[in-house]
Amino acid sequence: MIGGGGINLSVAELLQAREYEYIVTIMDSPGSIAEVHDFCHMPEIVHKMTICINKEHLSGYSGQVLRIFEGNHGRIETFKFPDDITGCHLLGRVVDQVEKCAEAKQDQIARSVGVLV
């Protein structure tokens, strides 16, 4: 499929993913499922991703894809719908992950410029 700018949407998603430090995908629509399937074999993208998926959807083809995803150092957060959404439990876990990654990145930057040894 071609997007409004004339670029293939899967290529556009890949270009965008390469630019970000952290990616959170809620795997609940055809587009988000396709994105995970596209990226699960790309360690340079997977290591900065967290996939949020309903516990009831961990089997079948996507379940196999998620095993590859985890093998490439991707993070998976499962949730129980609707409790973890309406209670903001999933949000809390994802925010915690993002904060940990931000702290690690800050540490990496500080060490690279000699602020920390």
64 contact partners, CB below 8 Å, separation of at least 6? none
What tokens appear for 79 in the block? 């949730």
Is CATH 3.30.70 correct for 22-112? Answer: no
d(CA 111, CA 117) in angstroms, rounded, equals: 6
Answering whether pTM is above 0.85, one says no
pLDDT tens by residue, 14-72: 999 999 999 999 998 998 999 999 999 999 999 999 999 999 988 888 888 999 999 99
Q: Domain ranges in the chain?
A: 22-112
What tokens appear for 93 in the block? 């876990």
CA 82 to centroid of chain Cα atoms: 21
